[in-house]
Structures are given as C-alpha cells and as structure tokens.
Chains A and B, each alone.
Chain A
Amino acid sequence: MADDDQARAIEIKGLTTKFGAHVVHDALDLEVRRAETFAIVGGSGSGKSTLLREMILLHRPDGGSIRLLGTDIGTLDEEAARPLRQRIGVMFQQGGLFASMTVAENVGMPLREYTGLDDALVDEIAAAKIALTGLEAEAGLKFPSELSGGMHQRAALARALALDPELLFLDEPTAGLDPASADGVGALVRELRDLLGLTVVIITHDLDLLWQVTDRVAVLGGGKVRGVGSMAELAQMTHPDIRPYFDTPRARAAQQDAARRGDVDRLTEAAGHG
C-alpha cells in the first residue's frame, strides 16, 4: 500500500456522481502518478469540472473512493482535510483572486496563514512567486480588477504555488490568453514540474498545451474514461470521443506544431518508459 501511495498522487476507483437523475460519473476509474503532468479533457458536460471539484475536496461524490496523496478523502471531516488542503494548490478558471487584496497580498495570504514566516520574508517570497510566473514586480501592488486577462491568470497561478504544493490543479490555465502568454504558461508548468517534482493535473481544451506539456491525458465521455495515455498513444485509439482531439483541422495543426518542436519525440520516449 505504501508503495502505491509513493507512486500515485491520485487514485480514483468506481467514482459515481449524480445530479438528480443525471449521472455525471458512472463507476469512473483514474490514476495520476506522482511527478507527472496529467490532463483531463472531454466535451462540455462530460463531468471534467465536477471531477476536479471532487478531487479538490469541494464536492462529495455519491459513490466510489478518491485517494489523494495517499489519503482517502471520502471519510475526511473539515478538520482532517486541512493538512491535505495545504499540500494541494488550485488555480481556478476565473482566477478566484480575492478582490479586496492586492496581488502580493493574495499570494502571501496562504503563507501568512500557515507558516511562521515574518512579514518581510512573506513579502519577499510573494514577490519571488510573482516574478516566477512572469509578472512585473509592480503588478504585486495592483488589485485583481486592475489586471489584464493574462496577468490575472498568472497572478492566480502565483497564489496556487504559494505553499509549493505537491499537487497542483489547473482549471483551463490558458483560457483567454494570447498565444505568447499561453506558451509561457506551458513552459512554466514544465519548468515547475522539473524543478519541484510537482504533480500537475490540468483541465484544458487547449490542444497546443496538451501536446506541449502533458505526460498523459485522460479523455472523459459518457461518465467514464474513454482512453488514457500520452498524446501519441491516444492518437492511435479509435473511440469516437477521442478522435476530435486528433482529426479536426485545429487538432492536426496543433499536432504538426508539436512535431516541429520535437515534442513528439519526447512524448514517445516518455511513453516508452511508462
């Protein structure tokens, strides 16, 4: 069991979720390994967002079990969940930045809440995180409402990284970003994974991001996982829920672009090891 917990960041078994009569997840199984970058994709209404909410302890599933960093979260009460929450970071699609605080205060807040660091050091670490995500230092003084879309996204990422979480969840990290910024986010995710050994779970529709950074991808459909594997492996699968990620013009363009960058080599290599 301990070995399993070492190797797996998330282990989902027989997950069932219903909203009234509507079944969102029907005995869904999924595993995310430690230190891998994992993406969850699927059409609208395929239950990606609900799955994310269940993994970050915001929604209780109706059945099945979820193990997060070796802890079964089905039985946790709020008190017991707190240490676990400190080990995960979440970047919400709309950012979720606190509007009444500056960016620097937003990023520093988890540090002030959970560590004994003094204010000067917290400010310095917050400034370092803000710089790490590619924002200007002056952005730290701004309020979220004064930021552009891309800056907002980066600030949200900086806060998600504040406590150096072992497990980082990103909900549509490149939505609404210009191509250069989106590329920047991709590069940043890869750098963080290499540097900190982060496990990253991404919910995304961004085909370029899928090719660029992910080790493995799960495609959701009909309440189940339709396929899991590297992008190169998924490209060989024939399920109709998977094909749109490869057979549409946009998908082909993204694939060709990734091939040009030499990412396909990296991915097939990773698949060979995996």
Chain B
Amino acid sequence: MKASPPTPGESPATLDFAAPATWTLGGHWTALGLGELAKRLPSRGEQAQGRPVIDGSAVAALDTVGATVIEHWLARAGQGGEADWRGWKPAHEKLLARIREQGEAEPPVQPSPLGPVAAVGKATVDFLDELRALLRLVGECAVAVRMAIRHPSRIRWRPFLHHVGIAGLAAMPIVGLLALLMGVVVAYQGATQLVKYGANVFVVDLVGLAMLREFAPLVTAIIVAGRSGAAYAAQLGTMVVTEEVDALRTLGIPPVEMLVLPRVLALVLVMPLLTVYADVLGIVGGMVMATAKLGVDPEAFLDRLPRAVDVTQLMLGVGKAPVFAAIIVLVGCFQGLRTRGGADAVGAQTTRAVMQSIFLVIVADAAFSILFSMLGL
C-alpha cells in the first residue's frame, strides 16, 4: 500500500498492444503519470478483436484517475466492458472493482443557453425587476426620512457622524486637488482664445461660471461616487454575504434605518459643502493661471468676480449636489443590498454601483441643464 518512488515523472504510464487483444500496462497510471497517453488510446483499432486481456503486472502505481481511464476505454472497446485481468496487484484490483461498481459517471448536461429573442426578453424583465427594487428602496428611504423628521432621537447619530467624517473630511484633499487642477485647465484653455480678442479679464467669467455651475458639482460627484459609492456597495454587500443584514432584520431593526439612512443623511449634508469647497479651489486655480498667463492679477480677478457671477450661479451649482448625493448613496446601497452569493458577487456589485451612479449623475446633470435653460437661469 505504498505510493512509492520513483516519481510519476521518472516512470510515466506505458501501454503496449504487442500481442493481439492484449493491453500491457506499465509505469504510473496516475493523474500525474498518464500525461499524453490518455489522449491516444481510444482511436486504436486493436481493441476490437474479442475480449481483451489487460496485463497490469508492470504497473507501479494506480489511482482513481488511472482506473477511470482504463474503465472508460474498456466501456468503449465493445465487449460490454468485459476483460481478462492478468497480473494485477490485489490493491489495484480492489480499486478497479470500486470504480467499475460505481459505473461510468455521466457528467450532467448544462441546460442550453437562451436564444437571442429570449435573451433580450430576460434582460428586459431583469432590468424592470431591478428598477422596481430600486424604487422600493427609494420608498423605504422616504419612509425612514419621515420617521427621522418626526423622531429625530431615532436617528443613529454615531454612524451618521462616522460617514460625515469618511465621505466628507477624508475626501477633502483629493476633491480640492482635482478642483484646483480643473480651474487651471479651464483658465489655460480659455487664455489662448481670450488673448486674441484682448478680452483677458473675461477669464474671470469663464472660470467662475464653468466652475460654479458645472465642474465643481460634477467633479465632486464623480470622486464621491468612486470613493464612497463604491465603499457603500462593498460594505453592504459584505454584510449581506455574512448574513449581518439578515441578523439586523431578525433583531427587528430595519436595515434601511440602520444602514442606509445614516449614509443618505451624511452624504446629502456633505456633498454641498464639498462642492462649495471645490468652487473655492477651482477659482483659486483659475486665478493662479490668470496671473501667470493673462496678466490678470489677483486683485483685478477678485474685483471682477462678483460682477461676473452672482449668487444664483453659486446656488444652482450647489443645489445640484444633494441630488447627486442621493443618487450616489442610493445606488451604492441598493447594489450592495442586492448582492447574492459569495465574495466575488461583492466585487461585481461594487463595479455596477460605481458605473450606474456616475452614469445617472451625468444624466441628472444634463436634465438640470435643460431645466435651467427652460427657466431662463
């Protein structure tokens, strides 16, 4: 009963058809010793003549893989799997008998994939299902918000503050840096055009309007979607996989109230603040560029700024932020809570959350542009 040296690599499985209808086996008939031999045999014609004699006296080792291969060939050789076994060690005979007794295990057949029409139908139904589930979460959130307004004491302040810190304070360096660079880029792009007309000072209008109305809210939203939206999906997804969400339910605590609401409140509060912060740094970036490339010094820049943009422009940009925040946090939590299965599902849901929230933020931004232009703002 010893699996003995030499190793399979040194004495691989051999097979010889020297005598008619006699298979002479040798070497390591094991998973690692079989090598290319397994592919070769079934095409041989020698098997057809009568009941084969299978000589195993030179077999050094046999395992279930080797035994399965032998039985597999035998079943295909005709003769109803009958053979004369010669020279086999008792242990090997026992193993062969065990494999034979189990019969040939047919691998189960995969159900055939859907046709193109059915696939489109399934995708549509799945999409509508997902939309309905998202709407349900939005509804549950609305109920939770109403509860929070009526009974502020039931708001979970600790997780709320935690998320304000993580999503807001911790995001400040990256949001600030990107807004600053955005301001630099806008001013730089405008500079070449404005110099042609000698309209250097209008760089203030350009930077002011672009940053306040569009770039600051959008850049902030995209960064927050990548940072916090992804984190929410991953956190909630992991909690679903480890049954923490189910545990909350059985303790009588609605997951929306405990997990989603603090995140919604935190992000809806923090996003406008981050946007104002991005406004400031974007304008600073533009100011630096204006000084360097257009000769508009900071004093002139700041003097021009209040006349170029008014409070309405600021409010329009900042006003978008809570909407973007709601989209990001709801999509993130929604995809997290929809996780089914194991660890790899968490990754898939996180990816979906980031993709969908960025997509929806940009769609919402376009909708705002149309709305504002219709209102003449």
Contact of A132 among B1, B4, B64, B72 (CB under 8 A): B64
Which of chain A's residues 162-207 have a Cβ closer than 8 Å to chain B?
A: 162-164, 166, 194-197
B69 touches A111 (CB 8 A): no
B360 located at the interface, meaning its Cβ lies under 8 Å from any Cβ of chain A in the complex: no
Contacts of B72 in A (CB 8 A): 121, 124
B112 located at the interface, meaning its Cβ lies under 8 Å from any Cβ of chain A in the complex: no
Cα-based distance from A173 to B106 in the complex (angstroms): 27
Question: What count of chain A residues pass the 8 Å CB interface test?
Answer: 43
Secondary structure call for the A interface: helix
Known: A131-B102, A137-B108. A114 touches B341 (CB 8 A): no
A269 located at the interface, meaning its Cβ lies under 8 Å from any Cβ of chain B in the complex: no
B345 touches A145 (CB 8 A): yes
Min CB distance, B135 to chain A, in Å? 27
A138 located at the interface, meaning its Cβ lies under 8 Å from any Cβ of chain B in the complex: yes
Cα-based distance from A166 to B72 in the complex (angstroms): 23
B1 touches A121 (CB 8 A): no
B2 located at the interface, meaning its Cβ lies under 8 Å from any Cβ of chain A in the complex: yes
Contacts of B34 in A (CB 8 A): 115-117
Contact of B2 among A128, A129, A197 (CB under 8 A): A197
Contacts of B341 in A (CB 8 A): 99, 143, 145-146
Contacts of A126 in B (CB 8 A): 107
Render A111-143 as a binary contact track against B, CB cut-off 8 A, 1 for contact: 100111110010111111111100001101101
Contacts of B298 in A (CB 8 A): none
Contact of A111 among B65, B105, B110 (CB under 8 A): B65
Known: A126-B107, A145-B341. A118 touches B38 (CB 8 A): yes
B3 located at the interface, meaning its Cβ lies under 8 Å from any Cβ of chain A in the complex: yes
- Interchain residue pairs A-B with the least CB separation, the first 7: A164-B63, A145-B341, A197-B1, A99-B342, A127-B105, A123-B107, A128-B105
CB<8 Å pairs between A and B, sample of 16: A35-B1, A99-B341, A99-B345, A114-B31, A117-B34, A124-B107, A130-B105, A137-B106, A138-B108, A145-B340, A163-B32, A164-B30, A166-B3, A194-B94, A196-B64, A197-B1
Kindly list 18 other residue pairs between chains A and B, CB separation below 8 angstroms, not including A127-B105, A137-B106, A196-B63: A6-B2, A86-B32, A99-B342, A99-B344, A115-B35, A116-B37, A116-B39, A121-B38, A121-B69, A124-B72, A128-B64, A129-B64, A137-B105, A140-B107, A162-B31, A164-B65, A195-B95, A196-B64
